[in-house]
Structure 1
Amino acid sequence: MTDDIASLSFEDALTELERIVKSLEGGQFRLEEAITSYERGAALRAHCENKLREAEARVQAIVQKADGSLDAKNLD
């Protein structure tokens, strides 16, 4: 179930997570479906958090030089 999540973009994962949350809030699932959806939602949330951390690290790696130009630090 989570293998396909790893290939999702942040935006696609967030869209699916929002759909799951709305469905759960609306009580549209039977109990077993709700549990399965909740588990997938938790995996999607974790995936989104990881994507955000990666993006934040990339943004923080961009530094401004004294002349005002931008440069990227090596993340290693």
Structure 2
Amino acid sequence: MIGIVLTIINTAFFAGTWYFLGRGSIYAKLIKELREALEVIGAQETMIQAYKMKYNTEKTEEENGEQD
């Protein structure tokens, strides 16, 4: 009888450990992918800002040319 109870307790602890370790690895993977996505987003924002600056400069030059 004690052997059965100890087996059930051991199984419960094993299943709990397996569950939390699995969850931790999934979270680690998600955090890694999030960091990579944030790097890509940062690069895209930089490109967008550069394009906006270029476009605004060209637009301002056109407006100044028309005013002269």
Q: Into which bin does the TM-score normalised by the smaller protein fall?
A: 0.5 to 0.7
Please give the residue correspondences for 1:14-33 in structure 2 after superposition, counting only pairs within 5 Å.
Answer: 30-33=12-15
Query: What is the aligned partner in structure 2 of residue 44 from structure 1?
Result: 26
Using the size of structure 2 for normalisation, the TM-score is: 0.52
Q: Which runs of 5+ in 1 are unaligned?
A: 1-28, 69-76
**Deviating runs (4+, > 4 A) in structure 1?**
none
Distance in 1 of aligned mates of 2:31 and 2:12: 28
Larger radius of gyration: 2
Q: How many residues align?
A: 40
RMSD of aligned residue pairs (Cα, Å):
1.8
Which protein, 1 or 2, shows the higher relative CO under an 8 Å CA cutoff with sep ≥ 6? Answer: 1
Using the size of structure 1 for normalisation, the TM-score is: 0.47
1:59 aligns to 2:41 (yes or no): yes
Distance in 1 of aligned mates of 2:25 and 2:13: 19
Q: Which runs of 5+ in 2 are unaligned?
A: 1-10, 57-68
Distance in 2 of aligned mates of 1:54 and 1:40: 21
- Which structure's residues are more often helix, by fraction? 2
Counting aligned pairs with the same residue, the percent is 17
1:30 CA drift (Å): 1.9
- Which structure's residues are more often strand, by fraction? 1
